[in-house]
Structure 1
Amino acid sequence: MKGDVYVYDCIRVPTGKAGGRYKSVLPESLAAFLIEEVLQRQNLSGCPLEIILGNSIGTMGNMARYASLLTSLPKSTLASTVDLQCGGSYQAIRMAMAQLKSGLNEVVIAGGMESNSLQPHRFYAKNDPRYTDGKAFLTANFNPQSTQSLAQSAEQLAHAFQITKDEMWDWVLESHHRAADFIQTAIYKRHVIDYDRKGPDQTVRVDLKREDLVRWSTKETIDRTNTAHYHDGAAVLVLGTEELGRRLDKKPMACIRDILILGVDPDEAPKGVIYGASELLEQHALKAKDIDIFEVNESFACKPLSFAKHFGLSDKKYLNVFGGNLAYGHPFAASGTMNLLHLILALKEKKQTFGLLSAGVAGGYGAAMLVENCE
């Protein structure tokens, strides 16, 4: 359909733990590796394009530009970095779609990159009212009117939907088991490109057992046993118009029908997975039953579980089909593109048509995307 935006390719690197396989690798190097890969795979060399990448904890400067300069692209290529925290990929894709729909570009490479390993230590200036005697900080305060943490907000969400720790552990184990199966498949190996020849995602625990979670557990409802930890990674996708496909004789993987980013109370950020999806469905006069496969960000186990309860998904077979961030990791601004990749591949593997992607974003946003399988 004229004006639609298509995904012609989508790839990522295997995720690494903070201080793990990418402990000395710049995030822009990971992004450049992927950009070069799609340039060759899609024969885009010489094709005018733009790059838009999300990043939230980088080392300052225009990191998308750094990535571009590390590739074979001409120095005249425009590359921009956007920060919407863990919603960075959504905003990058949203901006790319606007350019494609307006005719400003015919092809855009969008996505995100993140390195918790190389996150710089930051200090408030002495005149800043938040100054704390030169003490470094790593996590931003996402709400200037509150000091509530994301973990506290996730705990509120779990209580609101009466989700127990046992239920969350069940989901954590399921996420790892699904991921362990997925990393053995041919489609995984085609779209997850090994940067360092160290194999699949460092974070997937094939041998994870309930006893491990019990041993690591604390008295808190939300703790390290049901939370995605700190990770490094990058993911990109090639977005283009229908005309691009005709001109280059390419068949798209999927069509992005719509994307929405909705502001919510920052102290309810995890519940953004519900708010964003609800608004997008309502705008298209759709019900949850009209969607074949759901992909929900798993920074906390309570997020997909509360999503399932809210929308009445009694059978979670088609929720995070290949596992989620609890298994693969959550490299913040790259996660949205990672999740989108898994959703598209799940639609193809299960021969389904419509998918919905959703995330609750730090700072108070609900982000959602409506995707259609092109096959």
Structure 2
Amino acid sequence: MLRAVSSSLGTARAASTAVKRNTPNIVLVDAVRTPFVVSGTVFKDLMAVDLQKEAIKALVEKTKLPYEKLDHIICGTVIQECKTSNIAREAALLAGVPDNIPAHTVTLACISSNVAITTGMGMLATGNANAIIAGGVELLSDVPIRYNRKARKAMLGMNKAKDVPSKLKIGGEIVKNLLSPELPAVAEFSTGETMGHSGDRLAAAFNVSRREQDEFAIRSHTLASEAAKNGKFTDVVPVFLDGKKPKTIKEDNGIRVSTIEKLSTLKPAFVKPHGTVTAANASYLTDGASAALIMTEEYALANGFKPKAYLRDYLYVAQDPKDQLLLSPAYVIPKLLDKAGLGLKDIDVFEIHEAFAGQVLANLNAMDSEYFCKEQMKRSGKFGRVPMDKLNLWGGSLSIGHPFGATGVRLAAHSAHRLKEEKGQYAVIAACAAGGHGVGMLIEAYGK
């Protein structure tokens, strides 16, 4: 899917090599997101479908997209509300999208809206669509909590009970199990281990100290705070909340700049007492939604849209979900750049999802490790180190927040906007996800 951008011999940049022209250029026209907010705060009384609706509505209004030009809607989500299992369709209808425009929902943990984007890219590349909305949402303020299995079986059996003694017996089973709910957990089904435990072990394996993690967290919050104050978050759209005290939510509320002294007083959150992952150097539970308009370049220009960036290529990877759960960026970045014929020096912007500070730093160490690259990635030598002065310069998931299903679009929007502001050509997105999965995406500045 990578399209050619010719480069002349002797230029400092490798530009793009070995590129095919048998598929259409695919472009990001624009992207929006609701404010990303700490779960249990301002969006706590909403449903996820409400947030996704707001993102779709705002995108349509911002881009002035006529519905007759829209072919399909794809949205990602992780913790599904059973009433709106195809949340893309329900949100689209609530947003006023005509009912003859199909919509479907995808899920792949923290990279769900990346899947929405790349699924759309596939439809555009094969001529099955010209314009697609790709988005995602998570509302962790209200996750589904189930009765335990014994109570559920008893409830289903109540309708089949034919006499009073049978009903009383089943009723007793229900009452007995009412106070033993099944609570959702951010844990791997295959290993039973929480992502926080994996993050702690990963940091230890790659010699990332507690202080390095805390310093990276402070960096994330500081850069996000500066970006917000300087008006860089142009992808954020306001959300009006009706009720007894109507108000409009206009900005993220989880960005908090602290000091290394304060962070050093926090106790480990997962591996106690000697772990290094704390509440401050880990991403927090977040509510939010996003939406992006992607098109073929030809269709966008023919219909008066001005693209922000080219969506050049993508790659998914998967590894051992126990010991390498969060290492996908280290695997996918080299593979993606090899595929594109590019090197580290050709990339101007990196946006790497910050699940944990230790996870990001461990991945940077892994790519710069001779041993890891040779033994685990089967490369001839180490790949190299991603420069910090190109990484997440507007903050990341540690500070802005991480609604599981929505972050991928945020990464794409920030990559496109940073490329324009920093006058760069190529951006790389990388993110880890549950199950040992990961994604890498290559984005190119439009007009370069």
By the TM > 0.5 criterion, same fold? yes
Which residue pairs with 1:139 in the alignment? 185
Q: After the TM superposition, which parts of structure 1 deviate over 4 Å for at least 4 consecutive aligned residues?
A: none
The one-character-per-residue Cα deviations of 1:206-260 (angstroms, maximum 9, x if unpaired) are 4x22233123233322221211111101111101001222221222100111111
SS of residue paired to 1:226: coil
2:77 to 55, 58, 62: 55
Which residue pairs with 2:210 in the alignment? 165
Identity of aligned pairs, percent? 30
1:272 aligned partner, one-letter code: S
1:297 aligned partner, one-letter code: H
SS of residue paired to 1:257: strand
Which residue pairs with 1:316 in the alignment? 388
2:249 aligned partner, one-letter code: K
1:213 to 260, 263, 285: 263
- 1:120 and 2:144 aligned: yes
The one-character-per-residue Cα deviations of 1:29-78 (angstroms, maximum 9, x if unpaired) are 11111211221222222323211000001212211111001112111121
Between the aligned partners of 1:314 and 1:67, the Cα distance in structure 2 is 38
Between the aligned partners of 1:48 and 1:355, the Cα distance in structure 2 is 27
Between the aligned partners of 1:126 and 1:283, the Cα distance in structure 2 is 51
- Which is worse superposed, 111-120 or 148-157? 148-157
Between the aligned partners of 1:326 and 1:358, the Cα distance in structure 2 is 15
- 1:344 and 2:416 aligned: yes
Q: How do 1:102-113 and structure 2 match up within 5 A?
A: 102-113=126-137
| Unmatched runs of 5 consecutive residues or more in structure 1 | none
Which residue pairs with 1:364 in the alignment? 436
Between the aligned partners of 2:232 and 2:195, the Cα distance in structure 1 is 34
1:266 aligned partner, one-letter code: P
2:332 to 255, 273, 276: 276
Distance 1:337 1:20, change over 3 A: same
The one-character-per-residue Cα deviations of 1:169-200 (angstroms, maximum 9, x if unpaired) are 01000000000011123342x32112132332
CA contact (8 A) 2:187 2:195 kept: no
Which residue pairs with 2:237 in the alignment? 193
CA contact (8 A) 2:33 2:236 kept: yes
CA contact (8 A) 2:186 2:195 kept: no
- Which is worse superposed, 179-188 or 293-302? 179-188
Shift of residue 306, structure 1, vs aligned partner? 2.3
SS of residue paired to 1:332: coil
Which residue pairs with 1:6 in the alignment? 27
CA contact (8 A) 1:58 1:115 kept: no
Between the aligned partners of 1:142 and 1:123, the Cα distance in structure 2 is 21
CA contact (8 A) 1:115 1:233 kept: yes
Between the aligned partners of 1:108 and 1:234, the Cα distance in structure 2 is 17
TM-score, length-normalised on structure 2?
0.78
CA contact (8 A) 1:274 1:366 kept: no
CA contact (8 A) 2:34 2:289 kept: yes
SS of residue paired to 1:167: helix
1:269 aligned partner, one-letter code: L
- 1:245 and 2:289 aligned: no
1:175 aligned partner, one-letter code: S
Larger radius of gyration: 2
Between the aligned partners of 1:302 and 1:102, the Cα distance in structure 2 is 40
The one-character-per-residue Cα deviations of 1:319-346 (angstroms, maximum 9, x if unpaired) are 0010101001111111111122112111
* Alignment size in residue pairs: 369
Between the aligned partners of 2:31 and 2:311, the Cα distance in structure 1 is 13
Q: How do 1:12-161 and structure 2 match up within 5 A?
A: 12-45=33-66, 46-60=68-82, 61-123=85-147, 125-126=149-150, 134-139=180-185, 141-144=187-190, 146-161=191-206
CA contact (8 A) 1:273 1:303 kept: no
Distance 1:40 1:32, change over 3 A: same
2:278 aligned partner, one-letter code: D
2:121 aligned partner, one-letter code: M
Between the aligned partners of 1:204 and 1:308, the Cα distance in structure 2 is 24
1:280 aligned partner, one-letter code: L
Distance 1:110 1:286, change over 3 A: same
Distance 1:158 1:135, change over 3 A: same
Shift of residue 315, structure 1, vs aligned partner? 4.0
CA RMSD of aligned residues (A): 2.0
1:176 to 217, 221, 232: 221
1:231 aligned partner, one-letter code: T
Which residue pairs with 2:353 in the alignment? 297
SS of residue paired to 1:366: strand
CA contact (8 A) 1:273 1:296 kept: yes
